[in-house]
Amino acid sequence: MLVYLGKRLVYTIPIVIGVSIVCFMLVHIAPGDPLVSVLPPDASEQLKIQMMAAYGFDRPYYEQFFKWCLRAIQGDLGTSIATGRSVTGEVLNAVRNTLLLAVVATFIGFFFGLLFGFVAGYFRNSAIDKIASILSVIGVSVPHYWLGMVLVIVFAAQLNWLPPTGAGPGGSSEWRPDWAHIRHLILPAVTMSVIPMGIVARTIRALVADILSQDFVPALRAKGLSELGIFGHVVKNAAPTALAVMGLQLGYLLGGSILIETVFSWPGTGFLLNAAIFQRDLPLLQGTILVLALFFVMLNLIVDVVQTAIDPRIQRS
Amino acid sequence: MTFVTSFLPQDPAKTAVPIEKSPGYWSGVFQRFRKDKLAIAAGVIVLLLILMAILAPLVAPMDPYAGRTIRRLRPIGTTGFPLGTDELGRDMLSRLIYGARFSLMMGVTPVIMAFGIGSLIGIVAGYVGGATNTVMMRTIDVFYAFPSVLLAVALSGALGAGIQNALVSLTVVFIPPIARVAEAVTTQVRNRDYVEAARASGANALTIIRVHVLGNVLGPIFVYATGLISVSMILASGLSFLGLGVRPPEPEWGLMLNTLRTAIYTQPYVAALPGAMIFITSISFNVLADGLRNAMDVKV
């Protein structure tokens, strides 16, 4: 196990370096001046050079990269060009809101995904399997930003049950566990949960059907084990994969929340990315993407390690 | 078979039976696909959408760009505007028909390009193996380490809005998964006995790749890539929805969905229409890809 853990960590290091290089290069594949949003269009050449030097854009790429990495390790992701505030602070505030949304969505999606997947895999080719399969296909093919709009139309515009946008009353962006804030969370979380629901239902259905076709199941039946007992064995065998999918989905939701956050004006990382892109605030864009991507890499690492810890067969293969 | 059977006692009734050519792989695929009604229905919808895109100037009743504020946001069923009008008074039906051109192009092109580039990378890495494989696949892993939506938004956000930049970003997003599948199947095929036999009989690498590898790996990669079109449609329209892909006044479903967001209180059904088109397209591609996978009996 320790050897595996070591190997997995060593494998992660080049990925982290590669991800950092890609994030760093984002600023440099961008056309035009990185300072275009702060400088007036008629800025003098001298002012331009001064500003470039102040932000360190006049140094060679590799030097900029190392300085950027060194500061990033110390928790400093630079200064937002548009607001002049620290990128780290802005990202951390936003990540909290996105994490809340993604975690709640993952749990909702998982509950229903597991339910549909187990039922469909267990009663294969029954009517209930067909319904569950259709729901899972819908879950993976629906454009979730459109689903969000439809839910807003139905539950906010027509029925007036839930608020259409925002994270709290009066544009509050600090989340508190009271009813007013929970009401704001329902629609975006449900919208987001559809993605993991479809994928989990699909994966679990195939997995359960596969487990049930293995030799140990008739053996357990012959031994006289109850159906519930057999179900317990199926759950035990499906758990490592289910956990792995859950971890990865959480990562995908964190990184992919921008569309849903735009629909619901949710004050998270997606909202920040949106602002960064349209104000051409490249340090903010770079920092947000780096944090989200590293989150995803770490989640992958944790998922692999946990999966191996609970199912030693994976390590051997 | 003939060699073995010639030793068996001859049955006079059977000797007269003419030799039948055994049905090939593709006819088996076709037979299986034909039985899958759902996949056929999805295929028909996809064909209709493609036809609609090609024939847009002929089928669309009005000019999709001509609007008049006096008739803005008419409901579904208005005479002359069967699907209503948008926030600038343009005919929704015509815009949805023309939208198929942009949306299908934006969704399908990246997958085709990624299929070409990703297969090339994966097949070369898988066939050559060794250090080349490690370097190529670890580089691919770096891009695979980003959630797909995030990578697409990051790249097109940095490059700036526009059709070309969105297509480039989406292609970059789909190369890693395709390359990984291509590498995995190529590595498998490379170690088969027939490849070994071809190498032993003196065939050079290009001949082996052309004759033995391509024929066996392109099928699975193709099936996997078709499965990505559904995701690509959602992502491509999503980029336009964010304002990063197709730009106004072009009729693209994602962009239309975004500009109609202001109308959800006044004309909710009209506002939801472009998204319904994306949904229909995406689900049809998804079901079609599933049908292809089952018919071709591919596990990826």
Q: Does some domain include residue A9?
A: no
Q: Does some domain include residue A66?
A: no
B24: left (phi over 0), alpha (psi -120 to 50) or beta: beta
pLDDT value for B43: 94
The pair of three-digit structure tokens given for residue A230, joined into one six-digit string:
């057999």
Q: Does some domain include residue A107?
A: yes
Q: Does some domain include residue A173?
A: yes
**Residue, of A128 and A37, whose pLDDT is higher:** A128
Give the DSSP H or E segment for A199. helix A179-212
Closest Cα to residue B92, out of B289, B297, B300, B275? B275
Q: What is the pLDDT of residues A169-209, one digit of tens each?
A: 766 667 777 777 888 888 999 999 998 998 999 899 888 88
Per-residue pLDDT, averaged over A79-103, amounts to 87
Minimum CA–CA partner of A252 in chain B: B147
Minimum CA–CA partner of A160 in chain B: B265
For residues B39 and B284, is the Cβ–Cβ distance under 8 A?
Answer: no
pLDDT at A316 over 60: no
> ipTM more than 0.95?
no
Q: Does some domain include residue A67?
A: no
The verdict on a CB contact (< 8 Å) between B158 and A30 is yes
pLDDT at A315 over 70: no
Q: What is the pLDDT of residues A287-305, one digit of tens each?
A: 999 999 998 999 989 888 8
The pair of three-digit structure tokens given for residue A77, joined into one six-digit string:
């992701």
Q: How far apart are the first and last CA of chain A?
A: 13
Domain that holds residue A173: 89-268
Three-class DSSP category at B91: strand
**Residue count of chain B:** 300
Dihedral angle sign, alpha carbons of residues B247, B253, B254, B256: positive
Q: What is the pLDDT of residues A212-270, one digit of tens each?
A: 888 888 888 888 888 888 888 888 888 888 888 888 889 889 888 899 999 998 989 98
Q: Does some domain include residue A137?
A: yes
Q: With bands split at pLDDT 50, 70 and 90, how would you rate the model's confidence at A129?
A: confident
Q: How many CB pairs under 8 A join A and B?
A: 140
pLDDT value for A16: 92
DSSP string, A170-191: GG--S--SSHHHHHHHHHHHHH
The pair of three-digit structure tokens given for residue B151, joined into one six-digit string:
């990578």
State the alpha helices, DSSP H only, in A30-86.
45-55, 61-73
| Chain B residues whose beta carbon lies within 8 Å of the beta carbon of residue A14 | 138, 142
**Residue, of B298 and A171, whose pLDDT is higher:** B298
Q: How far is CA A284 from the centre of its chain?
A: 18
Q: With bands split at pLDDT 50, 70 and 90, how would you rate the model's confidence at B2?
A: very low
The pair of three-digit structure tokens given for residue B97, joined into one six-digit string:
């028909």
Binding-face residues of A in 233-252 toward B, CB within 8 A: 251-252
Per-residue pLDDT, averaged over A109-123, amounts to 89
| Chain A residues whose beta carbon lies within 8 Å of the beta carbon of residue B139 | 18
Q: CA of A121, closest CA in chain B: separation in Å?
A: 17
The pair of three-digit structure tokens given for residue B273, joined into one six-digit string:
């229409």
DSSP secondary structure code for residue B75 in this structure: P
For residues B232 and B174, is the Cβ–Cβ distance under 8 A?
Answer: yes
Q: Hey, of B76, B137, B143, B153, which one would you mutate to test binding to chain A, going by the most A CBs within 10 A of its CB?
A: B153
pLDDT at A62 over 60: yes
Cα–Cα distance for residue pair A235/A36, rounded to 1 Å: 56
pLDDT at A37 over 70: no
Closest Cα to residue A234, out of A119, A129, A79? A119
Strand partners, B81: B78
pLDDT at B6 over 60: no
CATH of the domain at A101: 1.10.3720.10
- Kindly report the backbone phi and psi dihedral angles of residue A44, in degrees, each rounded to the nearest multiple of 5, phi listed first: -75, 160
pTM of the model: 0.88
Q: What is the pLDDT of residues A271-282, one digit of tens each?
A: 889 888 888 888
Q: Is the peptide bond before A34 cis (omega within 30 degrees of 0)?
A: no
pLDDT value for A19: 93
DSSP string, A124-170: TTSHHHHHHHHHHHHHHHS-HHHHHHHHIIIIIIIS--S-SSSSSGG
Q: How many domains does chain A have?
A: 1
For residues B83 and B273, is the Cβ–Cβ distance under 8 A?
Answer: yes
**For residue A181, what are the CA distances in angstroms to A93, A148, A171, A206, A276?**
16, 18, 11, 38, 26
Minimum CA–CA partner of B253 in chain A: A146
User: Packing angle between helix A282-310 and helix B148-159, nearest 10 degrees?
Assistant: 160
Which residue type sits at B116? G
Q: What is the pLDDT of residues B157-201, one digit of tens each?
A: 888 889 999 999 999 999 999 999 999 999 988 888 888 898 888
Who among A141, A149, A263 is closest to B286 (CB)?
Answer: A141
> For all residues of chain B together, what is the average pLDDT?
88
B96: how many CB neighbours lie within 10 A of its CB? 23
pLDDT value for A33: 67
pLDDT value for B1: 44
pLDDT value for B17: 64
**Residue, of B47 and A214, whose pLDDT is higher:** B47
| Chain A residues whose beta carbon lies within 8 Å of the beta carbon of residue B261 | 149, 263
Per-residue pLDDT, averaged over A52-62, amounts to 76
Q: Does some domain include residue A106?
A: yes
> For all residues of chain A together, what is the average pLDDT?
85
The verdict on a CB contact (< 8 Å) between A18 and B141 is yes
Instruction: Identify the weakest region by mean pLDDT among A77-91, A259-273, B15-29, B261-275.
Output: B15-29
Q: What is the pLDDT of residues B230-280, one digit of tens each?
A: 999 999 999 999 999 898 889 999 999 999 988 888 889 989 999 999 999
Per-residue pLDDT, averaged over B92-111, amounts to 94
Residues contacting residue A317 through CB under 8 Å, at least 6 positions apart: none
The verdict on a CB contact (< 8 Å) between B138 and A14 is yes
Q: What percent of chain B has pLDDT over 90?
A: 53
The verdict on a CB contact (< 8 Å) between A157 and B264 is yes
B201: how many CB neighbours lie within 10 A of its CB? 7
Per-residue pLDDT, averaged over B32-47, amounts to 91
Three-class DSSP category at A79: strand
Per-residue pLDDT, averaged over B63-75, amounts to 84
Q: Does some domain include residue A252?
A: yes
- Kindly report the backbone phi and psi dihedral angles of residue B78, in degrees, each rounded to the nearest multiple of 5, phi listed first: -65, 135
Q: Hey, of B46, B149, B228, which one would you mutate to test binding to chain A, going by the most A CBs within 10 A of its CB?
A: B149
Q: Hey, of A8, A20, A149, A187, which one would you mutate to test binding to chain B, going by the most B CBs within 10 A of its CB?
A: A149
Closest Cα to residue B253, out of B51, B60, B104, B71? B104
